[in-house]
Amino acid sequence: MRSSHARLGESKPEAKAPNQTTSDRLMSSHPQQRPQGSVRYDHSGRVVLVTGGSNGIGLAICRGFSQAGASVLCADIAEYPDLNDPNVHFVRSDVANPSDCQHAVELALEKWGALDVLVNNAAIQPASSYVRLEDLKTQDFERMLAINFSGYTFMAQHALRAMRKQQCGVVINIASGQAHRTTRGVPVYGPIKAANVLQAMQWGVEYARDGIRVLSVSPGAIDTPLVRATLEAQGGERELANRHPLGRIGTPEEIANAVLWLSSRDASFITGTDLAVDGGLGALGAFAEPYPMR
Ligand SMILES: NC(=O)c1ccc[n+]([C@@H]2O[C@H](COP(=O)([O-])OP(=O)(O)OC[C@H]3O[C@@H](n4cnc5c(N)ncnc54)[C@H](O)[C@@H]3O)[C@@H](O)[C@H]2O)c1
């Protein structure tokens, strides 16, 4: 993600060295003394549909697949920022609208003749939804349900139909750490994210014998516009970073890396399950002493 603001959890911002990625910079608060290893993915020839790919995590996923040689269709209500990337095609779609979902899948099939990967990523968490259930506005609830739950369902419905004809494909639902544990003041975001995990499990079981794998990925806090918009409601920047055992929040690229792996043949025996990419957030017990603030 390119932006001018300081990265969350980055206590000592450093000048960006040539070839240094966002992940490198976020992780530089704890420099590694030994070689770390890396993995490169080849998705050439594959067709990938990413919802909500114009910002944050979705943008990193689009860029990751593009760099790995895939043809990518970004379906979003906001325009894709890298319109000169020849591997990425943008279609304006509101995933809450079933006919937009159908159109996006049909467009991928028309353009490239197949659909290999669907990443259900578009979701919203308006600041006004951080309330007790009794104070939740009906329009906030209906919009979150329409995008975060129905949008995943409509997209998968059309994608799975195409994948079943091919007898192969991968669907990845971006869920959340809030699918697995909760706190005060988030009455619907987490429950819908829990449903995204169950969707992946159910669809994974249903379509396994058709050569299709379905998974969910549950991020911890990731430095994106969605998180930036609700920082105060989440206790502020340093507090949010400190809640993660790794002492920082994640980068969109760290979620994209998990998606690039899970959707590849290297993850061929993994389906119907969830992967936490959360800096240890989910492992930290509620009984644990909070980390001292630095
Ligand atoms: N950022 C985090 O810390 C975090 C943590 C856990 C899970 N997630 C999940 O990751 C996913 C991406 O989150 P993000 O932080 O990158 O969000 P973001 O707000 O930065 O980006 C979301 C994208 O979705 C698009 N979008 C919104 N409504 C849409 C609609 N109706 N149809 C199509 N596109 C639409 C937006 O235009 C935007 O490009 C979401 O599913 C979110 O719940 C994020």
pTM of the model: 0.93
Indicate the pLDDT class of residue 15, thresholds 50, 70 and 90. very low
* In a domain? residue 124: yes
Q: What does the pLDDT look like over 150-198, one tens digit per residue?
A: 999 999 999 999 999 999 999 999 999 999 999 999 999 999 999 999 9
Closest of 195, 198, 175 to residue 275, by C-alpha: 175
Q: What does the pLDDT look like over 16-49, one tens digit per residue?
A: 445 555 556 666 667 788 999 999 999 999 999 9
Average pLDDT, the chain: 91
Rounded CA gap, 281 and 283, in Å? 6
- Counting the structural domains of the chain, the total is 1
What secondary structure does DSSP assign to the chain, as a single string?
---SSPPTT-SS--PPPTT--HHHHHHTTS--SS---------TT-EEEEETTTSHHHHHHHHHHHHTT-EEEEEESS--S-TT-TTEEEEE--TTSHHHHHHHHHHHHHHHS---EEEE------GGG-S-GGG--HHHHHHHIIIIIIIHHHHHHHHHHHHHHHT-EEEEEE--GGGT---TT-TTHHHHHHHHHHHHHHHHHHHGGGTEEEEEEEE-SBSSHHHHTTTGGGT-HHHHHHTSTTSS-B-HHHHHHHHHHHTSGGGTT--S-EEEESTTGGGS-TTSPPPPP-
Mean pLDDT value across residues 72-89: 97
Q: Which domain CATH number covers 99?
A: 3.40.50.720
* In a domain? residue 18: no
Mean pLDDT value across residues 230-250: 90
Active-site annotation holds for 80: no
* In a domain? residue 17: no
Whole-number Å distance, alpha carbon 35 to ligand 1 midpoint, is: 33
Mean pLDDT value across residues 8-22: 47
* In a domain? residue 207: yes
Distances (CA, A) of 113 to 109, 156, 228: 4, 17, 38
* In a domain? residue 31: no
- Whether residue 62 contacts residue 81, with contact meaning beta carbons closer than 8 Å, is answered with no
* In a domain? residue 15: no
Which residue has the CA at smallest separation from atom 8 of ligand 1?
176
| Mutational test site, ligand 1, from 192, 224, 228, max ligand atoms within 8 Å of CB | 224
* In a domain? residue 185: yes
Q: Which of 130, 189, 207, 291 is catalytic?
A: 189
Indicate the pLDDT class of residue 14, thresholds 50, 70 and 90. very low
* In a domain? residue 3: no
Q: Which atom of ligand 1 is nearest to the CA of 174?
A: 41
> What residues make up the domain containing 193?
40-283
Whole-number Å distance, alpha carbon 58 to ligand 1 midpoint, is: 7
pLDDT at 237: 84
Rounded CA gap, 177 and 91, in Å? 29
